[in-house]
Amino acid sequence: MTLSTDSGGTVPALDGPTAALVRQSARITAGSEEEIRAGFAECLAAKVSQRWQEELVLQSYLFAGFPRALNAAREWRRSQAASGQAPSGETRGAAGGGQQAHAAERRSGQALVDGPHEGYADVFEWRERGEETCAVVYGEFYEKLRGNIRALSPALDEWMIVEGYGKVLSRAGLDLGRRELCIIAACAAGGQDRQLHSHLHGALNAGVSAEVVRAAIGALDGVVPHEALSRALLLLARVVGKE
């Protein structure tokens, strides 16, 4: 099955919009509401696409928790209103199409993950997509990861694949390389070094070069404490040394 997340795409260089998105990921994870608000203003100035910003907000609940994701969503909507930006296609569809549009999509065979609606009837597709995406991120360590998580909790293993990698990280709208860079920023900001180590590998496995990963960590200067940045760069050096 082919992933619909643009997962094969790479990030050839850390352009301005990608750098702003990565910085905002760190703010959503550990910043104040004022800092998150300023981050969306930075995204606007850097011309970060609304779809990228929406995907960042949606995936943030996996790494920052639902309360921070909701706060980020509120600030993002405020930034849209202040700048005169229209809501994304997903939001317009949810507001205007309702259940009739949802049913029409199902009758037409359109995948809900690519359209304006989602529903838990898609759980089997999410599992398949999640297994594929997680296998890309973890590479040769994928089977070991699954075994370790199952040993901790079979429920967490299922949620990780279906909810995390399937429903969220396999969405269209933001390629896997940029998603991984944003996850690196979230883990660095949140002090989650074990997961940071995994997703440094993940970014490389998704096709992002070590130079771009290093630049993304450097872009967090002023957003993430220097001690955390130093740890992230040290971990990256170890990861690259093992490649």
For the chain of 243 residues, list the mean pLDDT of each consecutive stretch of 10. Answer: 47 96 98 97 97 97 97 96 70 42 40 52 91 98 97 98 97 96 98 97 97 98 97 97 78
Query: Which residues contact residue 94 at a Cβ distance below 8 angstroms, ignoring those fewer than 6 apart?
Result: 116, 117
pLDDT at 118 (0 to 100): 67
pLDDT at 243: 67
Q: Tokens 């180590």 belong to which residue?
A: 197
Beta strand residue intervals within the chain, DSSP E: none
DSSP string, 131-200: HHHHHHHHGGGHHHHHHHHHHH-HHHHHHIIIIIIIIITT-TTS-HHHHHHHHHHHHHHHT-HHHHHHHH
What is the tens place of the pLDDT at every residue in 30-85?
999 999 999 999 999 999 999 999 999 999 999 999 999 999 999 999 999 988 87
User: How far does the chain reach from its first CA to its final CA, in angstroms?
Assistant: 28
Give me the pLDDT at residue 4, please.
42
Task: Give me the pLDDT at residue 242, please.
Answer: 76
Residue 3's pLDDT is 47
Neighbours of 152 (CB within 10 A): 10
**pTM to 2 decimals?**
0.85
Joined tokens for residue 2:
């082919």
Residue 25, C-beta contacts closer than 8 angstroms, at least 6 positions apart: 56, 60, 181, 182, 183, 185, 186, 189
Residue-level pLDDT at 101: 41
